[in-house]
Amino acid sequence: MIRFRRSLFLIVAAFLLMTPAGVWALTAGEILDQVARKGIGEGGFRIALQVETTKGKKKLKDHTIWLMGRVKADETSLFVDIEAPADSRGTRFLFKARSGQKPEAHLYLPSTGKTSQLDRSDPTAELGGTGLTMEEILTLVPQGDETATLAKEELAEGLPSYVIRIASPGQPGERLIWVAKDDFFVLKSHQLDADGKVRKSFRVVEFFKTEQGRTFPRAEEILIPDKGLRIKVRQESAVFGIEIPEEVLDPKAFGAFQWRV
């Protein structure tokens, strides 16, 4: 078991990029493979996050969120459990990406005690009163038909970085991801629309060094300009290399399963 702090962005970025490397240009594929392997590797993880959301100058509700997941050669799973605030407690999501299959997204609502598979056809649909829309959730679900190319190398947040361009056939816009050359973690990301306007951005705002001298992100900032939202995510604790209960990653059981005893 490995216990040390890593970044939400490492986890989410690795999950986003966990599609067969063969679909990418070789150099981009090798870089993204390093992001996934050094970010989480193969195995289970559990992370506690504090999320602060503001709109303009007004602070909205803070959230406490647990992330659990597992990466295997042919399947990646991500479980999200909202602990606070009280009116969202127990709302859960499960995302699964299997090799050669379309990714799945599931929602459990404690108010109904029911689980539903999320409809990806309506990007504006709000998800069970959480404030999240399908469009935002889709950024967490890997798209099997994505292609990635290495665009250039440049400094990002003062660090030498690779810039990778990711696009999906039939979808407007693209994503740009900046990956640190030395440690292969994601420094920032821009989601662009068809006109090149930034619709959502991620940026590491706090780092820390391990006892071995490696640098990792600790806190990130997410900006959604069209909604005037600023989201700060800080990792409180993390455990890697652990066994994850099968029920947590099972669409039929993840909603009601009591993983904390």
> Which CATH number is 190's domain given?
2.50.20.10
Structural domains counted in the chain: 1
pLDDT at 6 over 60: no
In a domain, 108, yes or no: yes
In a domain, 30, yes or no: yes
Residue-wise DSSP of 140-188: TS--TT-EEEEEEEEEETTEEEEEEEEE-TT-SSEEEEEEETTT--EEE
Pairwise CA distance, residues 206 & 7, whole Å: 10
In a domain, 259, yes or no: no
Render pLDDT for 166-205 as a digit per residue (tens, 0 to 9): 887 777 888 898 988 887 788 888 988 889 899 888 888 8
Task: Output the average pLDDT for the chain.
Answer: 76
Query: Residue 251 half-sphere exposure, CB side, CA atoms within 13 Å?
Result: 11
Q: What is the dihedral of CA 238, 113, 256, 39, to 10 degrees?
A: -30
Where in the sequence is the domain holding 152, given as residue range(s)? 8-249
Q: What is the enclosing helix (H) or strand (E) of 29?
A: helix 26-39
More confident residue, 218 or 6: 218
In a domain, 175, yes or no: yes
**Which residues, other chains included, contact 69 with Cβ-Cβ below 8 Å and sequence gap of 6+?**
11, 15, 40, 44, 45, 76, 77, 78, 79, 244, 249
In a domain, 256, yes or no: no
Question: Which of 199, 150, 197 has the alpha carbon at shortest distance from 178?
Answer: 150
pLDDT interval class at 246 (50, 70, 90): very high
Give, in order, the Cα–Cα distances in Å from 208 to each of 37, 135, 205. Answer: 19, 32, 11
State the burial class of residue 187 (Cβ atoms within 10 Å of its Cβ: 0-12, 13-18, 19+): buried
Confidence at residue 17, expressed as pLDDT on a 0 to 100 scale = 42
Ranges 28-42, 108-122, 148-162: which has the least confidence: 28-42
Render pLDDT for 130-175 as a digit per residue (tens, 0 to 9): 545 555 555 544 555 678 888 898 998 888 888 988 887 777 888 8
Query: Residue 112 half-sphere exposure, CB side, CA atoms within 13 Å?
Result: 9
Confidence at residue 167, expressed as pLDDT on a 0 to 100 scale = 84
pLDDT at 3 over 70: no
In a domain, 3, yes or no: no
Estimate the crossing angle of helix 8-16 against helix 26-39, to 10 degrees.
140
In a domain, 192, yes or no: yes
Q: How far apart are the first and last CA of the chain?
A: 20
pLDDT at 78 over 60: yes
In a domain, 260, yes or no: no
